[in-house]
Chain A
Amino acid sequence: MFPATAKPDGVLPGFRLGLGYTLTYLTLLVLIPLAGMILITGQLSWADFWATATGDRALASYRVTFGASFAAAAVNALFGLIVAWVLVRYPFPGKRFVDALVDLPFALPTAVAGITLATLYAENGWVGEQLAKLGIRIAFTPAGIVVALIFVTLPFVVRTLQPVIEDIEPEVEEAAASLGASRWQTFSRVLLPGIFPAWLTGFTLAFSRAIGEFGSVIFIAGNMPLISEITPLLIISKLEQYDVLGATALAVVMLVISFVMLLVINLLQWWAANRHSKSRDGDAAADGLALAGARP
């Protein structure tokens, strides 16, 4: 966004040092391991790679992993928005406590979360017992995977939205209302454009975290081939057979799918942010007027 050379050195160490550090750090911690993984996969012939990557159990596991991750991220996008909104906008007793609760899924070892959820949602567990009466089974089905992923990824949407919602002054809502916007119009045309990029970021973070999740899922998933096996489980399975090449092949497939998805979401976000800032810089006033005028 900013031309690099035009940026004056501030108080902190300058641009060159900063960039050098950033590149070294990312190379050591991200690029080298990923490149190593792809190099190792290179030892496989294309036919072997393809056979491993498109085996029946592998294909089913992609569906389970990406489907459950998408569902969990979507649920969290909706309910995370509500939680963030309530935490920012309304004072209530114990607010700090509730605020701290949001971070718990980050802090808890995921295996602990998985075992706890499996025990709760099993048919003799507190929650599972009630659901069983309604004929709903959560633990040891794909639904259990979604539940575990919702738990683990809850903080992402809430924590990315909170600062953005804090930035929107309540006066903005009041102004919209005084110009005659309905509640829904205030939300969809005034608030939403402002929070949408952050919302999408939260969704993306939750989604990508869910794809790689292993510890919490395997305890509640049931791990049945073709039904509730996640891709990370198949990777572990291959490692248990000392099939390192097969394991990295699956990992590369996940990496590519994740990368493409993140790229698409980033483009979407960039497009949304662009559109939003244009309409803000351009004719926010006209927009407001048009909004008011739209009301009968």
Chain B
Amino acid sequence: MKRLPGLLLAVGVSVGVFFVGGAHAQQNLLNVSYDVARDVYKDYNPLFQKYWQEKTGEKVEVRQSHGGSSKQARAVADGLEADVVTMNQATDVDFLAEKGLVATDYAKRFPDNASPYTSTMVFIVRKGNPKGIKDWNDIAKPGAVQVIIPHPKNTGNGRYSYLAAWGYALKQPGGNDKTAQEFVSNWLKSAPLFGSGGRDATTTFMQRRIGDVLVTFESEAELIAREFGRGDFEVVYPSQSILAEFPVAIVEKVVDKKGTRKVAQAYLEYLWSKEGQENAANNYLRPRDPEVLKKHAAQFPPIKTFTVDEVFGGWSKAAATHFKDGGTFDQIYVQK
């Protein structure tokens, strides 16, 4: 019993030192992000910490939180104290802007629509491409081809695929909303199932060997190669595809409260630095920096892309037209 007070004192002192020390010498940031960005930011954080310490002499601790993009956005809206959000769809940042947590003009506060890197939707086909799938219209052949995508209403990955097919149809000669809806309707008839998420769709295609083509992010193709080996599939680049942007933003309310605005701003800005862009390229995300892109040209074949803003007038409009209740997705299934 005699030892107990001494022990308590020791614990008390060390806890005290920890807090005092922590508060002065170190700032901490919480980056709330989408699921598959884990590796990107795991590699990025040490780069930034080194940069920040060299520049200011301060140490910064960066914590990460990953999950489904819109679940993460809801968590931030419900009070998760994120200094910055790095999402895979503008919808999720728009939602936070609507809630007053993020500036409404967040897309203009950083270059390139506030998206430091991009990706696009590509096709993964079986070795040798036995069904000869080259472009979006090769998939719209129900009965002849089976396509695997995650649920177009519930997942970012699925929504990009859906909009990519729609945009492709619009851009064909004589394409309009009516022909596009017909095209996408045929396109969806080729889907025997909808995966519950991007990774689930990948498992279904690669491991359960269902379907002839998987539509997914270009960045996923490399992960598939690492997981399942390179000899088993081929990546096909369609004639054109959709540009997937990954917007980042500062959570205004939180940085003001925590006093972390400066470091949060620097954290996001540094994503556009040579090191930040290199890191994105190493994770198979297309860098914005033309020099870095050129350096990794072998990895990123040129492809014509269109953005959601150009073709659909932005994500919130696209969501309202296509994915809300009674939108085109529902119409395609209900009108049968």
Q: Which residues of A contact B (CB under 8 A)?
A: 51-52, 55-57, 115, 118-119, 122-125, 139-140, 218-219, 222-226, 228, 233, 236-243, 246
* Residue contact B325 to A223, C-beta cutoff 8 Å: no
Given contacts A237-B153, A240-B154, is CB(A218)–CB(B196) below 8 Å? yes
Q: In the complex the two chains form, is A57's CB within 8 Å of B193's CB?
A: no
- Assess the B324–A223 pair: CB atoms within 8 A: no
Q: Write 27 A-B pairs (CB below 8 A) sorted by A numbering.
A: A56-B330, A118-B204, A118-B208, A119-B207, A122-B204, A122-B210, A124-B209, A125-B208, A140-B192, A140-B193, A140-B210, A219-B200, A222-B193, A223-B194, A224-B194, A225-B330, A225-B334, A226-B333, A228-B193, A236-B154, A237-B153, A237-B154, A239-B70, A240-B70, A241-B324, A242-B70, A246-B325
Given A57-B330, A226-B333, residue A123 in contact with residue B210 (CB < 8 A): yes
Interface set, chain B 309-329, CB cutoff 8 A to A: 319, 323-326, 329
Report if A243-B324 is in contact (Cβ < 8 Å); known contacts: A57-B333, A222-B194.
yes
Is there contact, CB below 8 Å, between B325 and A122?
no
Query: CB-CB < 8 A to A243: which residues of B?
Result: 324-325
Residue of B whose beta carbon sits closest to that of A144: B193
| 10 pairs of A and B residues whose beta carbons are closest in the complex | A222-B193, A122-B208, A225-B333, A218-B196, A140-B193, A223-B194, A56-B334, A237-B154, A240-B154, A124-B209
The residue in chain B whose Cβ has the minimal distance to the Cβ of A246 is B325
Set of chain A residues within 8 Å of B196, measured between Cβ atoms = 218-219, 223, 233
User: Which chain A residues border B204 with CB–CB below 8 Å?
Assistant: 118, 122
Beyond A119-B208, A237-B153, A240-B154, 12 extra complex contacts between A and B, CB < 8 Å? A55-B330, A56-B330, A56-B333, A57-B333, A115-B203, A122-B204, A122-B210, A125-B208, A233-B151, A241-B153, A242-B95, A246-B325
Give the chain B neighbours of A236 by CB distance below 8 A: 154
A140 CA / B326 CA spacing, docked (Å): 25
In the assembled complex, the Cα of A246 lies from the Cα of B203 at a distance in Å of 31
**Interface membership of B74, Cβ < 8 A:** yes
Which B residues touch A223, using CB under 8 A?
A: 151, 193-196
The chain B residue sitting closest to A139, CB to CB, is: B208
Residue from A52, A219, A240 whose CB has the most chain B CB atoms within 10 Å: A240
Q: Is the CB–CB distance between B325 and A226 below 8 Å? A: no
Please report the C-alpha to C-alpha distance between residue A240 and residue B326 in the assembled complex, in whole angstroms: 15
- Contact status of A52 and B209, CB under 8 A, knowing A223-B151, A223-B194, A224-B193: no
Question: Using a Cβ cutoff of 8 Å, how many contacts connect chains A and B?
Answer: 80
Q: Which chain A positions have C-beta within 8 A of B71?
A: 239
Closest to B324 in A: A241
Considering only residues 66-81 of chain B, those with a C-beta below 8 Å from chain A are 68, 70-71, 74
Chain A residue nearest in CB terms to B196: A218
- Smallest CB gap from B155: residue in A: A240
Given contacts A55-B325, A57-B333, A226-B334, contact A237 B200 (CB under 8 A): no
A57 touches B323 (CB 8 A): no
Most buried by B among A115, A223, A224: A223
1/0 contact trace for B115-152 toward A, CB 8 Å?
00000000000000000000000000000000000010
Instruction: Kindly state the separation between the CA atoms of A171 and B191 in the bound complex, as whole angstroms.
Output: 59
Quick one: which of A51, A123, A225, A233 has the most chain B CB within 10 A? A225
CA distance A239 to B68 in the complex (A): 12
Chain B residues with CB under 8 A of A237:
151, 153-154
Interface positions, chain B 203-234, Cβ under 8 Å from A, are: 203-204, 207-210
Q: Is the CB of A123 within 8 A of B333?
A: no
Residue of B whose beta carbon sits closest to that of A121: B208
When C-beta atoms are compared, the residue in chain B nearest to A233 turns out to be: B154
Chain B residue contacts of A118, Cβ below 8 A: 204, 208
- In Å, the complex CA distance between A137 and B63 comes to 45
* B203 CB contacts on chain A under 8 angstroms: 115, 119
CB neighbors of A among B171-212 (8 A)? 191-196, 200, 203-204, 207-210
